[in-house]
Amino acid sequence: MATPQSKIVENKATSMEKSKWTEDEEEDEFEECVEDQNGSVSPVLEDGLDSNELEKRKVALMRAFVEREDPSAKDVDDFMIRRFLRARDLDIEKASAMFLKYLTWRRSAIPNGFISLSEISNNIAHNKLFMQGVDKKGRPIVVGFGGRHKQGNMEEFIRYVIFVLEKICSRMPRGQEKFVCIGDLQGWGYSNSDIRGYRASLSILQDCYPERLGKLYIVHVPYIFMTAWKMVYPFIDKKTKKKISFVEDKKLRSTLLSDIDESQVPDIYGGKLQLIPIEDY
């Protein structure tokens, strides 16, 4: 049975005469960026037009509703709308609620539209996050060193997480919406165990930057980490869980090379690229 909210969405979208998808330029760009279930980006083929058109229709329906509820939604592109839809399995009502909550959060969390380095100086000093290269699907590679993370002011850490995600998204190659991450836990110990920080990071990633993470490789995992992992795992949504892979040390190089060209693998893992601190990327 349709709910009052879904009826509002459909009625509003039906009367809407203009959609970004109707513009030739947007249509071409969208087709260039259609993503397969495995995360790869490829042109739309004829036999995939039905699902593509369905997704476009739902984007238009959702846009009509969220713009009515929050006019600032007009400032985001259809790809962002689509990511929120995909995060909620194309359920317009759930995706709309999630997206409207995000808009409210963003106004509060990033009132100036950006986070300056001076606001996160303590976390920058840890030298724990880097970027360099892309995988075989064109997704930028981020490397984080869990053993360098230190618990501190939670508010600053949250701002640091936002800074990092904003930086990654701003450096996405054209036609790409996701990134891959190598979480290196070499040297990780209980002094690095920050359950509150991990949960906050997950919440921001899943609720405010949905469908951005393509894959997470967790490498050099010490046994004691599994205690912290058991406390964090219940807070990871099912979509994110499917993107996480624990890699054995003896299979690290072969695993990375199966997904990343050697020329793009960080030098610390036997590749050819020197890592760049994320604040300098």
Residue 192: the pLDDT is 95
One-letter amino acid of 161: V
Residue 25: the pLDDT is 35
Contact 135, 260 (CB under 8 A): yes
Contact 147, 189 (CB under 8 A): yes
In whole angstroms, how far apart are CA 124 and each of 47, 72, 113, 182, 275? 48, 32, 19, 18, 15
CA distance 209 to 201: 11
Contact 215, 246 (CB under 8 A): no
CA distance 225 to 206: 22
DSSP-derived secondary structure for 21-32? GGSHHHHHHHHH
Helices 92-109 and 154-170 cross at an angle (nearest 10°) of 110
Residue 174: the pLDDT is 87
Contact 60, 67 (CB under 8 A): no
In whole angstroms, how far apart are CA 243 and each of 63, 96, 145, 169, 232? 28, 24, 19, 18, 15
Q: What are the two backbone dihedrals, phi and then psi, of residue 114, each rounded to the nearest 5 degrees?
A: -160, 165
CA distance 62 to 16: 12
Model confidence, pTM = 0.81
Residue 35: the pLDDT is 47
pLDDT, tens digit only, all 281 positions of the chain: 444 444 444 444 433 333 333 333 333 334 334 444 444 443 333 344 467 899 999 999 999 999 999 999 999 999 999 999 999 999 999 999 999 999 999 999 999 999 999 999 999 999 999 999 999 999 999 999 999 999 999 999 999 999 999 999 999 988 899 999 999 999 999 999 999 999 999 999 999 999 999 999 999 999 999 999 999 999 999 999 999 999 999 999 999 999 999 999 999 999 999 999 999 99
To 5 degrees, how large is the angle CA 14–CA 17–CA 18?
120
Token pair belonging to 11: 């009625």
CA distance 65 to 9: 5
